[in-house]
Amino acid sequence: MDALRQGKEDLIVSLKETLIKKAMGYHYTETKTTIRDENGKKVKVIEKNEKYAQPDTGAIHLLLKNLDKEWRNDDQTTIDLKRKQVELTEKKIEQNEW
């Protein structure tokens, strides 16, 4: 059980780091390997290109929503109404009026 728990915790840390990287944008190297025929000989050609992945607005939104207490786009009135609805439903169940 400890190994499973530790594996899950490690995965969560890795996913958070990846999400942050995606939110911020990053540089990476794209490698393309091709085989060309030059003068009857097969030649392996490796091309490397530096690329930049733009910041992802979805990742930015998700991180801000979960990490910044002031960044909330949920309608508080709707949340309060749903909470009250759940409370009323629980009371009905308790009173066997369901």
Residues in the chain where the model's pLDDT stays below 50 = none
Query: What is the structure's pLDDT at 97?
Result: 60
pTM for the whole structure: 0.56
Phi/psi at 81 (5° precision) = -65, -40
How many structural domains does the chain have? Answer: 1
Q: Could you tell me the residue range of the domain that residue 85 belongs to? A: 2-94
pLDDT of 17 reads 94
The pLDDT of residue 73 is 63
pLDDT value at residue 43: 93
pLDDT for residue 74: 65
